[in-house]
Structure formats: structure tokens, C-alpha cells
Amino acid sequence: MFFMVPISFVSEHVKTLYEIDLLYKEQAKALGMRLVRSVSLNTHPLFIKMADHLVEDACRKKSWL
């Protein structure tokens, strides 16, 4: 079994889901492999909290808040 961890993406989107879950999974299957994609962080509460803090800090530095 091979695991696909798309580290360049922090959220799932159609292109990622299509390429990995459909195209690459079929290619792996044709080669006798099982491909499993890790879940993305986009809905995890800690990730959302971290993103909120980053945006808020950036806004404060620009005096937008």
C-alpha cells in the first residue's frame, strides 16, 4: 500500500480530489498497487484556529483591526 500525502495543499479541492482519487488511484491499481490519500487539514478545528490566528496577526500588523 502506498500513501499519497499532498503536502503542498492545505485544503481539498476538485483538482486534487480528481487527480489523486481518480486518476492516480486507477494508475496505481493498474500497477498492482493500492493508493491511499491522507485527509486534508481544511476542516480540522486546530487548523482553522491556526489560520484564524495567522490572518488576525497579519491584519493587526497592517492596522486593519
Q: What is the pLDDT of residues 18-64, one digit of tens each?
A: 888 899 999 999 999 998 887 777 888 998 899 899 999 999 999 99
Backbone angles phi, psi at 36, to 5 degrees: -125, 130
Please state, in angstroms and rounded to a whole number, the distance separating the CA atoms of residues 24 and 17. 10
Residue 58: predicted pLDDT: 96
Q: What would the grid cell of residue 13 be?
A: 479541492
- What is the amino acid identity at position 22? L
How many CA atoms lie within 13 Å of 52's alpha carbon, on the beta-carbon side?
7
- Identify the pLDDT of residue 53: 95
- Per-residue model confidence (pLDDT) at position 55: 94
Q: Side chain identity at 40, as an amino acid letter?
A: S
Q: Residue 2: what pLDDT?
A: 65
Residue with cell 486534487: 16
Q: What single letter denotes the amino acid at residue 20?
A: I
